[in-house]
Amino acid sequence: MSAITTTLVLWFRTLLINGLVNCVVFLFAEGIKGFMIAFVSTIASLFLTAPLIVPMVVLLKWFKKLPYEFIDRAVWLAFMFVAMAAAYILLAGFVLGGPDFFAEKEVPYFLFSAMVAAALVVPVCINRVKQFDLL
């Protein structure tokens, strides 16, 4: 399995889990209006996060070259994906929403859902990464 295929699978699964967490959190926090906001943001994230595929491929190639045990490299990869997701959310929010973006009450929800999605994707997809590592 190539780095690009593995990255696309990880990226898409992360988006699905992130969208599910967003929808559930916003449904309980904001009601049906929050659910609709989360649903629309999940659809938009398919297009907005596409530029993250390139750095993910690079990180996955570095992952294979690290001279550590598999689990140590998997934890490193998870941390890098979480840091990249949080930085991207904050940067995109600042660019699209300006300085007032950080005053919005939804920002912690988006960051929380990104962290949960990244934390869930790594254990769920560990076999896919392991298959990539064996190549």
Q: Residue 22 corresponds to which tokens in the numbers above?
A: 């967003």
Give the whole-angstrom CA distance, residue 54 versus residue 47: 14
Place of tokens 């689990």: 71
How many residues belong to the chain? 135
Give the whole-angstrom CA distance, residue 70 versus residue 19: 29
What pLDDT is attached to residue 129?
A: 66
Higher-confidence position of 128 and 15 = 15
Asked whether 19 and 11 are in contact (CB, 8 A), the reply is no
The SS3 call for residue 1 is coil
Q: Residue 115 corresponds to which tokens in the numbers above?
A: 């962290």
- pLDDT bucket at 12, cuts 50 / 70 / 90: confident
Give the whole-angstrom CA distance, residue 68 versus residue 84: 22
pTM of the model: 0.69
Report the percent of the chain where pLDDT is more than 90. Answer: 0
What pLDDT is attached to residue 126?
A: 66
What pLDDT is attached to residue 13?
A: 79
- Say which DSSP state 69 is in: -
Domain count for the chain: 1
What pLDDT is attached to residue 51?
A: 85
Other beta carbons within 10 angstroms of residue 6's beta carbon come to: 21
Single-letter residue type at 29: A
For the cut 80, the answer to whether the pLDDT of residue 90 exceeds it is: no
Average pLDDT over residues 100-114: 70
What pLDDT is attached to residue 125?
A: 63
Which residue range(s) make up the domain with 30?
3-134
Asked whether 53 and 90 are in contact (CB, 8 A), the reply is no
For the cut 80, the answer to whether the pLDDT of residue 124 exceeds it is: no
The predicted-structure confidence for 23-74, as pLDDT tens digits, reads as follows 887 788 778 888 888 888 888 888 888 888 898 889 888 888 889 888 888 8
